[in-house]
């Protein structure tokens, strides 16, 4: 089997990986010869959207890629059960809800002050602008707001909160009021990193799909090491690709799992498999804690042909913390768009069976709603960790999160009453052990000190030369939602990697 040779291999063509590959290919050169770079972009999942991708027009496969049957059709059942985001080219961006709040001053301050890295607003501005422009982030126009959105907003303002529309990535969106998180937009009006793929392709990036990287080849040198390439499984066979630079972008769980298999990680977990030690691989898992409180109304609060999906939201800060810890987010999820019928049929408000169920279902999709509550940026000392074999996350219970979630519940209940909900879900967990709901980060976090981080401010491993991480695992502290931040890491990481490795004089 011929071994492929590249200047750079990007592992994971998901949210951050595609952006990193595209921007490095566009701006990077071989520092010695000045030639364009040979870049391989390897993803475990399939490329289902070949050919022209037009936002608002979609792709024939996109319209089929919804129910389980189409996963069978595309022979992607393994991908469907992928524990931490879909295994496909485009990654979680193909599937995400598109709710996004851009980094705020506190994020930049925390990244600099807690971790000693120069990720300032000024230094990251170009990358932020890149993602905002390419994904086309903006709040939905007022004409698209549902009645539920308007009711939520005015009740929140009455309660003294600054409620506003959440930015969401849209191009040519018809605001049909049907598309929710996890179901994708059949016309690709909802932004994905696939919009960067033509830039990668035009600059010669070779995409290798359905190729799961098993291992990064790391050779030991002193206390550290350097990379030589990767082994990946394609068509049932192990193949090798070589490069002196490897950018990992398999997601907050996928990257630590591959690094551990490669012998890079905590000594106590890797044992005799250890090649290079770093005790933070797979640790420092951060994220938000989320729950949805069901509400139901006598009258329709949403209609077909209108709806935002970005929803309305407001924040409630914890007066005990001056650094932005413990911020609550309350948002009008599912007051902003029609409820899917299969969700309505299983709703906690739905009668069990018979005519009562049928009567309920006549109008349920326009009367049901949920109010989302979450705790973001919990205090910094409380972190979870990954199982480095499976990628499963464990997170210690935390009375602080329980207290804040219960405060969030009280705010949401008061809001629901003011909006005029006839019934409010009685279910609410007493304790919240899980954390992250897809909005996870930190497992290969950046920092100036190798004792509490994996990569430096230039996204390169502290110990393994030529190894970079740019996915959601790379940023140290949870912002409000992770999707924008993951894309930002791809865009910012690419710029740093080019400046330090792939430009004249680098
Ligand atoms: C259903 C869902 C809804 C979400 N909704 C929101 C939302 O509304 N707002 C928000 O901000 N965030 C949301 N998120 C989270 C957000 O999408 C993610 O945080 C972000 O996209 C992660 O980007 P990433 O680049 O780190 O990983 P991903 O985009 O998941 O990319 C990882 C890529 O690596 C590939 N891969 C993994 N392992 C290997 C391997 N061994 N070899 C080769 N390739 C590999 C995968 O196939 C995938 O393409 C949601 C996530 C999901 C799943």
Which band of pLDDT confidence, cut at 50, 70 and 90, is reported for residue 125?
very high
Q: Which residues contact residue 354 at a Cβ distance below 8 angstroms, ignoring those fewer than 6 apart?
A: none
By residue count, the chain amounts to 506
Q: Tell me if 471 CB under 6 Å of ligand 1.
A: yes
Please provide the CATH number assigned to the domain covering 4-102+189-284+441-501: 3.50.50.60
**Residue 232 CA, closest ligand 1 atom number:** 42
User: Is-contact 331 313, C-beta < 8 A?
Assistant: yes
Paired tokens of 135: 């994904």
Angle at 201 between CA 196 and CA 204, to 5 degrees: 135
Which of 59-68, 220-229, 308-317, 446-455 comes out lowest in average pLDDT? 59-68
Q: Tell me if 92 CB under 6 Å of ligand 1.
A: yes
Largest CA distance in the chain: 76
Q: Between 180 and 408, whose confidence is greater?
A: 408
Cα gap 238→327, rounded to integer Å: 46
Paired tokens of 361: 């279902």
| Section 339-364 average pLDDT | 94
Q: Tell me if 286 CB under 6 Å of ligand 1.
A: no
Q: Tell me if 293 CB under 6 Å of ligand 1.
A: no
Q: Which residues contact residue 104 at a Cβ distance below 8 angstroms, ignoring those fewer than 6 apart?
A: 324, 479, 480
* pTM over the 0.75 mark: yes
**Residue bearing the CA closest to ligand 1, atom 27:** 251
Best of 182, 254, 287, 490 for a ligand 1 pocket test (most atoms within 8 Å of beta carbon): 254
| Section 387-410 average pLDDT | 89
Q: Is the pLDDT of residue 505 over 80?
A: no
Which band of pLDDT confidence, cut at 50, 70 and 90, is reported for residue 438?
low
Q: Tell me if 42 CB under 6 Å of ligand 1.
A: yes
Cα gap 41→84, rounded to integer Å: 20
Give residue 470's Cα distance to chain centre. 12
Q: How far apart are the first and last CA of the chain?
A: 33
Cα gap 251→486, rounded to integer Å: 9
Q: Which residues contact residue 266 at a Cβ distance below 8 angstroms, ignoring those fewer than 6 apart?
A: 277, 278, 279, 280, 281, 282, 283, 388
Q: Tell me if 167 CB under 6 Å of ligand 1.
A: no
Query: Tell me, what's the pLDDT at 182?
Result: 56
Query: Tell me, what's the pLDDT at 437?
Result: 55
Cα gap 263→240, rounded to integer Å: 17
**Residue bearing the CA closest to ligand 1, atom 10:** 483
**Residue 182 CA, closest ligand 1 atom number:** 1
**Residue 89 CA, closest ligand 1 atom number:** 49
Q: Looking at the domain 139-170+289-376+396-433, which fold is it? A: Cholesterol Oxidase; domain 2 (3.30.410)
Which band of pLDDT confidence, cut at 50, 70 and 90, is reported for residue 316?
very high
Best of 184, 262, 468, 483 for a ligand 1 pocket test (most atoms within 8 Å of beta carbon): 483
Q: Tell me if 22 CB under 6 Å of ligand 1.
A: no
- Average pLDDT of the chain? 91
Q: What would the 3-class secondary structure string for 224-268 be?
A: EEEEEEEEEEECCEEEEEECCEEEECCHHHHHHHHHHHCCEECHH
Which among 39-43, 332-336, 482-486 has the top mean pLDDT? Answer: 39-43
Q: Between 365 and 184, whose confidence is greater?
A: 365
Q: Tell me if 329 CB under 6 Å of ligand 1.
A: no
**Residue 258 CA, closest ligand 1 atom number:** 41
Query: Tell me, what's the pLDDT at 77?
Result: 77
Residue 390 main-chain phi, psi, to 5 deg: -110, -20
**Residue bearing the CA closest to ligand 1, atom 24:** 251
Partnered with residue 215 across adjacent β-strands are 231
Cα gap 210→358, rounded to integer Å: 44
Q: Tell me if 184 CB under 6 Å of ligand 1.
A: no
User: Is-contact 338 308, C-beta < 8 A?
Assistant: no
Calculate how far, in angstroms, residue 247's C-alpha sits from the geometric centre of ligand 1.
Answer: 16
Calculate how far, in angstroms, residue 94's C-alpha sits from the geometric centre of ligand 1.
Answer: 8
Percent of the chain predicted with pLDDT > 70: 97
Q: Is the pLDDT of residue 479 over 80?
A: no
Calculate how far, in angstroms, residue 27's C-alpha sits from the geometric centre of ligand 1.
Answer: 25
Query: Tell me, what's the pLDDT at 399?
Result: 86
- pLDDT tens sequence across 173-206: 988 887 765 567 888 898 999 999 999 999 999 9
Paired tokens of 369: 């709603």
Q: Tell me if 246 CB under 6 Å of ligand 1.
A: no
Question: H-type helices in 28-144, by residue range?
Answer: 60-64, 68-73, 77-80, 105-115, 121-135
Cα gap 342→66, rounded to integer Å: 13
**Residue ranges per domain, the chain?**
4-102+189-284+441-501, 139-170+289-376+396-433
Q: Which of 347, 373, 182, 361 is nearest to 293 (CA)?
A: 373
Q: What is the DSSP letter of 29?
A: B
Q: Is the pLDDT of residue 490 over 90?
A: yes
Partnered with residue 287 across adjacent β-strands are 440
Query: Tell me, what's the pLDDT at 491?
Result: 98
Calculate how far, in angstroms, residue 410's C-alpha sits from the geometric centre of ligand 1.
Answer: 32
Query: Tell me, what's the pLDDT at 73?
Result: 82
Query: Tell me, what's the pLDDT at 208?
Result: 98
**Residue 14 CA, closest ligand 1 atom number:** 31
| Section 237-254 average pLDDT | 97
């Amino acid at each position: 089997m011929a071994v492929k040779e590249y200047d750079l291999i990007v592992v994971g063509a998901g949210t951050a990986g595609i952006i990193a590959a595209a921007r490095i290919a566009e701006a990077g050169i071989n520092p010695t010869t000045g030639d364009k770079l040979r870049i391989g972009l390897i993803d475990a999942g399939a490329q289902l959207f070949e050919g022209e991708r037009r936002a608002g027009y979609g792709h024939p496969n996109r319209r089929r890629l919804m129910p389980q049957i189409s996963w069978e059709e595309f022979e992607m059942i393994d991908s469907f059960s992928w524990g931490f985001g879909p295994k496909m080219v485009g990654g979680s961006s193909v599937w995400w809800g598109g709710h996004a709040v851009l980094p705020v001053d506190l994020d930049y301050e925390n990244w600099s002050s807690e971790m000693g890295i120069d990720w300032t607003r000024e230094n990251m501005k170009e990358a932020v602008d890149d993602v905002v422009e390419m994904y086309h982030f903006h709040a939905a126009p007022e004409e698209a707001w549902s009645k539920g959105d308007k009711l939520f907003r005015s009740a929140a303002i009455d309660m003294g909160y600054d409620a506003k529309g959440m930015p969401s990535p849209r191009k040519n969106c018809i605001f049909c009021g049907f598309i929710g998180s996890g179901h994708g937009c059949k016309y690709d009006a909802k932004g994905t990193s696939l919009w960067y793929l033509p830039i990668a392709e035009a600059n010669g990036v070779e995409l290798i799909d359905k190729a799961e990287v098993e291992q990064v080849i790391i050779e030991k040198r002193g206390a550290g090491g350097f990379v030589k390439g990767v082994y990946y499984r394609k068509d049932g066979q192990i193949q090798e690709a070589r490069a002196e630079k490897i950018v990992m972008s398999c997601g907050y769980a996928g990257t630590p799992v591959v690094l551990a298999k490669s012998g890079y990680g905590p000594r106590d977990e890797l044992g005799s498999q250890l090649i290079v030690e770093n005790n933070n691989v797979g640790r420092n898992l951060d994220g938000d804690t989320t729950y949805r409180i069901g509400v139901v109304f006598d009258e329709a609060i949403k209609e077909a042909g209108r709806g935002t999906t970005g929803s309305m939201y407001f924040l409630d800060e914890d007066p005990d913390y001056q650094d932005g810890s413990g911020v609550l987010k309350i948002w009008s999820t599912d007051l902003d768009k029609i409820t899917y019928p299969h969700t309505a049929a299983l709703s906690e408000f739905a009668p069990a069976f018979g005519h009562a169920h049928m009567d309920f279902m006549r109008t349920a999709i326009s009367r049901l709603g949920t109010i989302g509550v979450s705790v973001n940026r919990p205090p910094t000392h409380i972190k979870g960790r990954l199982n480095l074999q499976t990628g499963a996350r464990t997170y210690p219970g935390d009375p602080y999160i329980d207290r804040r979630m219960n405060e969030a519940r009280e705010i949401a209940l008061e809001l629901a009453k003011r909006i005029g909900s006839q019934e409010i879900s009685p279910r609410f967990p007493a304790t919240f052990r899980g954390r992250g709901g897809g909005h996870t980060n930190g497992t290969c976090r950046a920092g100036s000190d190798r004792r509490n981080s994996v990569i430096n401010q230039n996204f390169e491993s502290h110990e393994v030369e030529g190894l970079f991480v740019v996915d959601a695992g790379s940023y140290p502290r949870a912002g409000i939602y992770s999707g924008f931040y993951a894309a930002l890491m791809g865009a910012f990481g690419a710029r740093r990697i080019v400046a330090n490795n792939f430009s004249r004089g680098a």
